[in-house]
Amino acid sequence: MKQTKVIDTVGFRRTVDRLAHEVVEKNKGAEDIVVVGIRTRGDYLAHRIARKIEEIEGKAVKVGRLDITLYRDDLRGRLDQPQLKSTEILFDIAGRVLVLVDDVLFTGRTIRSALNALMDLGRPATIQLLVLVDRGHRELPIKADFVGKNVPTSQKQEIKVSMSEADGEDAVYLIEKDD
Amino acid sequence: MKLKNRHLLGLEGVSKEDIGLILDTGQSFKEVLERPIKKVPPLQGKTIVNLFFESSTRTRISFELAERRLSADVVSFATAGSSVSKGETLKDTARNIEAMKIDMVVIRHSSPGAAHFLSRVVEANVINAGDGAHEHPTQALLDMMTLKAKYGSLEGVRVCIVGDILHSRVARSNIYGLITMGAKVSVCGPATLIPRGIEKLGVQVSHSLEDVIPHVDVLNVLRIQVERQQSGFFPSLREYHRYFGVTKEKVSKAAKPITIMHPGPINRDVELSADLADSEHSVILEQVTNGVAVRMAVLYLLGAA
Amino acid sequence: MLNMILKSGRLIDPLSGKDETVDILIRNGRIEKMGKSVKHDSTFEAINLTGKIVTPGLIDMHVHLREPGFEHKETIETGCLAAAHGGFTAVCCMPNTNPTIDDESVARYVHEKGKQVCEGIVDVYPIASATKGRKGVELSPMAELAKAGAVGFSDDGSPIMSAEIMRRALEYSSMYGVPVIQHAEDVTMTQGGSMNEGLQATRLGMPGIPPVAEELMVARDIILLRYAPEAKYHVAHVSARGTLEWIRNAKREGLSITCEVTPHHFTLTDEAVSGFDTNTKMNPPLRTKNDIMAIKEAFKDGTIDVIATDHAPHTIDEKEVEFLQAPFGIVGLETAIGLSVTELIETKVLSWMQLVEKFCTNPRRILSLPQIKVEEGEPANLTFLDPTVEWKVDIHSFHSKSKNSPFDGRILRGRALGVVNKGRRLFFPS
């Protein structure tokens, strides 16, 4: 197994900062913005983005976490069910600009599940998608509004996002899977 | 994360890990129940039959809500008495249901082992919603979920089950589940209503509420059925209430406030005084809410895979 | 007619006390010659019984043949076929038929039908009800019934609850020397009961049948027997330790009391009910390890006279229902020898001689049936057993019409090889 670092710790911080700026820029401020991360690493990322926006705009930004397990389209046939965790969105999302955050955008199925889950929670004015890495290979018509880094990959490769909250460091690796 | 068994027939023999998984999953579903839209899709396209051979409006409604909130298609079938009395055997009923391509069956029946029997003759996942005096696992799970929310962990929590233990499936499932989770369990009731050998299941036996109250955190009060009086199990409801009815006065002797539970429906001022049932230490309505959440958890864990 | 030579079998005959290897020459269904190396011409079928056991024909004194009335469960023919394959040349059938065996004509019908089926290889002795319709209210016509072939009186399945009727039954039957056989159960204590009362029933939430319900009835009957000491009293299917204690003491006292135990009661405990298999539901119920220990002690000291199966056929449909709704009882004819050898001979609870007593001479004595003489000149009525063969119980190979056995798939040691009776022979591959 061979792994290549595609974003290092410094690059990670810069990417998050840039993404936060892009969000503020696109929405002309942080007025109606709420940030929701998909558990687990999307959730950590969402908190960082929100903190940065607060720093830029000097205003509090609400953050929530979303568990998409119940909305997955691959529950059946899986030998191992993912552990169901709680969705914690302790504010009303109706009419807000909801920035949905995940670490890696791949087939788009996770985002589809997240969109369905969000629709059951309320009716945001818009949903914008923010991802740290877009690795391609979409299976659904889904596109991110904010991308940290495009990393072209083959099906045999994997993207591993490490975050200090869980993994001890901030970095992104490209992993070559053995046959 | 998956349960070891594809049916939930009882809590006897179910591991600590599996009970823990159900309780944690139930806690997650509690959040779903707080949402404006209380429906999630994991059992979409699954068909569940609720077979109730014994009337129980509460348990049936709780299961139906849980099933519908998981987006399953639900058919309920309620008939008093056994199917045998209607001329069709349970086996035939089961085979017929099977032929209708059902994914899960929830069964309530007056005969102990009815759910086990069903699980042997059908392919569907079987959930026991009460089989005679044997087990009622989802009731015990919701009781445990309620206690876990209150005490953080079930380890060392002292629970006394009060009343007609002999005829109680709720008592048995609670005993099996609570002991597995590390709680200290005792039973209290008239000698006629304590089944033989129960101490070998790991519970302490008492015939005096006054003796028990200073040493417990929780009283789980069972419903007493008037019919038992005719069978010679106790002389009168008046005497029962006097000695085994849980009242404010009796629990006031405890050093710390005692949590009051009841599986419902309550005979007010018989096994439990009305003021206590409605008091701040009663978690009876939380039990009902948790009932839906924990049943969603069981259905999801057995059915979504 | 039957001509055969049985070579080198080990004859175990409690009546003569013989336990020796002999050749037995049978001509026209009679034992012509017994001894070492008996000569015979080639027209005689020779059967090598080296290492095998020959006994006088065994009897199962507690069988439900279900005919008349319940022929979908068993008939006299299928019951006799099962009996022969289990190693029995005689059975006593219980009167809970429809109509009940409570008058001469039904008793005679059953007795005669036994002679017609299976070429009469199994003798069928009816046990008539002690009271009319087994209702426990009026005595059945015992004199007529005895004359028509009834060898015992019993309301089996139902106990005789009234002390007064029991007393009269004992007194009246004593005139004919026919025993009253009691299904001992105080039914006021067993309503709704489905298994032994105790830890296992508590675990499973099952309504219990307390062992004292059996004990109480036997204790009462012993007191009555003291009052009517001319009578013969036999306790069917004893299951509880306490009951055996009463019987042991009553025997010491010199009362005319005997009892039987079934193979399932000395093999299984109430732990077998755990999976809610309705083939573990019987009455009396499976008890505990402690009771099995008591049964084995009672075998050793002679308190138990008889092993009988309580062969109770029920169809699969009748048994494949919820536990509380299921009928009581299991089939037993085709597993009795295997279970007895495995549980009693292999464990040295009984000697072979004692086992044959419990399956042959004791029940015949209790029922005043003629003893089988294994002697030259006597009709050949014999059972052949393989004492060591290991085999797996397969309910589908049962000859009984019903398959309700909890022993399916169990490995047993010892099995019947064949029987000879009434000039007929039946041998089966083991």
A94 inside 8 A of chain B by CB: no
- The burial of C316, by beta-carbon neighbours within 10 Å (0-12 exposed, 13-18 middle, 19 or more buried), is given as exposed
Most confident by average pLDDT, A164-178, B12-26, B229-243: B12-26
C98: region left, alpha or beta (phi > 0 left; psi from -120 to 50 alpha): beta
- Give first-to-last CA distance, chain C, whole Å: 25
**Contact assignment for C323 to B112 by CB distance below 8 Å:** yes
Chosen domain end from C334, C366, C398 = C366
Mean pLDDT in residue range B94-116: 92
Instruction: Say yes or no to pLDDT of A75 above 70.
Output: no
Residue A90 near residue A97 (C-beta atoms within 8 A): no
Angle, nearest 10°, between helix axes C211-227 and C163-174?
A: 50
In angstroms, the Cα distances linking C100 to C130, C134, C167 are: 11, 7, 22
Residue C26 near residue C32 (C-beta atoms within 8 A): yes
Which residues of C fall within a CB distance of 8 Å from B133?
Answer: 205-207
Dist CA C110 CA A53 (whole Å): 98
Chosen domain end from C345, C366, C387 = C366
Least CB–CB distance from B111: residue in C199, C275, C325: C325
C249 & C357 share domain: yes
Which residues of B fall within a CB distance of 8 Å from A86?
Answer: 27-28, 31
Residue with tokens 């807000």: A96
C121 & C233 share domain: yes
Range of the domain at C387: 4-54+376-427
Instruction: Say yes or no to pLDDT of A156 above 80.
Output: yes
Q: How many domains does chain B have?
A: 2
**Contact assignment for A71 to B37 by CB distance below 8 Å:** no
Least CB–CB distance from C276: residue in B113, B172, B198: B113
Which CATH number covers residue C325?
Answer: 3.20.20.140
Which residues of C fall within a CB distance of 8 Å from B90?
Answer: 321-322
- Among C341, C321, C331, C351, which residue's Cα sits nearest to residue C398? C331
C390 & C306 share domain: no
Which CATH number covers residue B97?
Answer: 3.40.50.1370
Residue C280 near residue C327 (C-beta atoms within 8 A): no
Q: A81 or B170: whose pLDDT is higher?
A: B170
Q: Is residue B168 part of a domain?
A: yes
**Contact assignment for B109 to C322 by CB distance below 8 Å:** yes
Min Cα distance C402 → chain B (Å) is: 19
**Closest A-chain CA to B23:** A84
B275 & B240 share domain: yes
Q: How many CB pairs under 8 A join A and B?
A: 55
Dist CA A125 CA A96 (whole Å): 5
**Contact assignment for B28 to A80 by CB distance below 8 Å:** no
Chosen domain end from C317, C346, C366 = C366
**Contact assignment for B132 to C320 by CB distance below 8 Å:** no
B100 & B174 share domain: no
Rg (alpha carbons) of chain B, rounded to whole number? 19
Chains that touch C (3 or more CB pairs under 8 A): B
Q: How many domains does chain C have?
A: 2
- Among C159, C175, C176, C200, which residue's Cα sits nearest to residue C290? C200
B110 & B141 share domain: no
- Among A148, A145, A69, A146, which residue's Cα sits nearest to residue A113? A69
Least CB–CB distance from C323: residue in B89, B91, B113: B113
pLDDT, residue C10, reads 98
Q: Is residue C210 part of a domain?
A: yes
Instruction: Say yes or no to pLDDT of B305 above 90.
Output: no
Residue B197 is classified by DSSP as T
Instruction: Say yes or no to pLDDT of B1 above 70.
Output: no
Strand A126-134 relative to strand A97-105, pairing: parallel
Q: Is residue B6 part of a domain?
A: no
- Tens-binned pLDDT, residue by residue, of chain C (430 aa): 689 999 999 999 999 999 999 999 999 999 999 999 888 888 888 999 999 999 999 999 999 999 999 999 999 999 999 999 999 999 999 999 999 999 999 999 999 999 999 999 999 999 999 999 999 999 999 999 999 999 999 999 999 999 999 999 999 999 999 999 999 999 999 999 999 999 999 999 999 999 999 999 999 999 999 999 999 999 999 999 999 999 999 999 999 999 999 999 999 999 999 999 999 999 999 999 999 999 999 999 999 999 999 999 999 999 999 999 999 999 999 999 999 999 999 999 999 999 999 999 999 999 999 999 999 999 999 999 999 999 999 999 999 999 999 999 999 999 999 999 999 999 876 5
B89 & B111 share domain: yes
Least CB–CB distance from A84: residue in B25, B36, B39: B25
C352 & C389 share domain: no
Most confident by average pLDDT, A74-78, B51-55, C357-361: C357-361
Strand C4-13 relative to strand C257-261, pairing: unpaired
Q: Is residue A160 part of a domain?
A: no
Residue with tokens 């009902």: B288
Which CATH number covers residue A28?
Answer: 3.40.50.2020
Range of the domain at B24: 16-135+288-303
Tell me the sheet residues that pair with C31: C26
Q: Is residue A177 part of a domain?
A: no
B122 & B144 share domain: no
B283 & B142 share domain: yes
B82 pLDDT band, cuts 50/70/90, is: very low
Residue C80 near residue C117 (C-beta atoms within 8 A): yes
B117 & B181 share domain: no
Q: Is residue C371 part of a domain?
A: no
Helix segments in C205-285, DSSP class H: 211-227, 241-252, 263-267
Give catalytic residues of C, as residue numbers. 310
pLDDT, residue B38, reads 86
Interface confidence: ipTM more than 0.85: yes
Q: Is residue B11 part of a domain?
A: no
Residue B31 near residue A88 (C-beta atoms within 8 A): yes
Which residues of A fall within a CB distance of 8 Å from B39?
Answer: 120
Dist CA C154 CA C133 (whole Å): 11
Instruction: Say yes or no to pLDDT of B85 above 70.
Output: no
C283 & C169 share domain: yes
The residue among B134, B161, B233 with the most chain C CBs within 10 A of its CB, best to mutate, is B134
User: Structure pTM?
Assistant: 0.90
Least CB–CB distance from B198: residue in C202, C322, C325: C202
Q: Strand order in B73-78's β-sheet?
A: B73-78, B47-52, B104-109, B125-131
C349 & C200 share domain: yes
pLDDT, residue A81, reads 65
Range of the domain at A109: 9-69+87-153
- Give first-to-last CA distance, chain A, whole Å: 10
Q: Is residue B250 part of a domain?
A: yes
Size (chain B), residues: 305
B1 inside 8 A of chain A by CB: yes
Q: Give A48-71 pLDDT, tens digit per residue.
A: 999 999 999 999 999 999 999 888
Residue A75 near residue B45 (C-beta atoms within 8 A): no
Q: Is residue A110 part of a domain?
A: yes
In three-state secondary structure terms, A60 is coil
Which CATH number covers residue C388?
Answer: 2.30.40.10
C306 & C395 share domain: no
Q: Is residue C257 part of a domain?
A: yes
Strand C30-35 relative to strand C18-27, pairing: antiparallel
| Residues on C contacting B at a C-beta cutoff of 8 Å | 197-208, 275-276, 317, 320-325
C50 & C74 share domain: no
In three-state secondary structure terms, C96 is coil
**Contact assignment for C276 to B116 by CB distance below 8 Å:** yes
B262 & B295 share domain: no
Q: Is residue B9 part of a domain?
A: no
C66 & C37 share domain: no
Provide the mean pLDDT of chain A. Answer: 92
Chains that touch A (3 or more CB pairs under 8 A): B
Q: Is residue B1 part of a domain?
A: no
What angle is formed at CA C64 by the lines to CA C412 and CA C78, rounded to 5 degrees?
Answer: 75
**Contact assignment for B89 to C197 by CB distance below 8 Å:** no
C125 & C99 share domain: yes
C238 & C250 share domain: yes
Residue B174 near residue B220 (C-beta atoms within 8 A): yes
pLDDT, residue B79, reads 75
Q: Is residue B3 part of a domain?
A: no
Size (chain C), residues: 430
A5: which 2 tokens? 């670092």
Dist CA C48 CA C427 (whole Å): 12
In angstroms, the Cα distances linking B138 to B33, B288, C122 are: 18, 11, 55
Dist CA B85 CA C266 (whole Å): 35
**Contact assignment for B42 to A86 by CB distance below 8 Å:** no
B36 inside 8 A of chain A by CB: yes
C166: which 2 tokens? 């029991």
Q: Is residue A171 part of a domain?
A: no
Q: Is residue C157 part of a domain?
A: yes
Q: How many domains does chain A have?
A: 1
Tell me the sheet residues that pair with C384: C54, C418
Q: Is residue A124 part of a domain?
A: yes
Would you give the distance in Å from CA A140 to the centre of its chain? 17
**Contact assignment for B197 to C198 by CB distance below 8 Å:** yes
Residue C105 near residue C147 (C-beta atoms within 8 A): no
Mean pLDDT in residue range B171-191: 98
Q: Is residue A14 part of a domain?
A: yes
B52 & B141 share domain: no
B167 & B39 share domain: no
Which residues of B fall within a CB distance of 8 Å from A78?
Answer: 305
B35 pLDDT band, cuts 50/70/90, is: confident
**Contact assignment for B133 to C199 by CB distance below 8 Å:** no
C227 & C300 share domain: yes
pLDDT, residue A26, reads 96
Which residues have CB under 8 Å from B290's CB, separation 6+? B26, B30, B142, B145, B146, B149
pLDDT, residue C105, reads 95
**Closest C-chain CA to B199:** C199
- Among C82, C151, C94, C143, which residue's Cα sits nearest to residue C118? C82
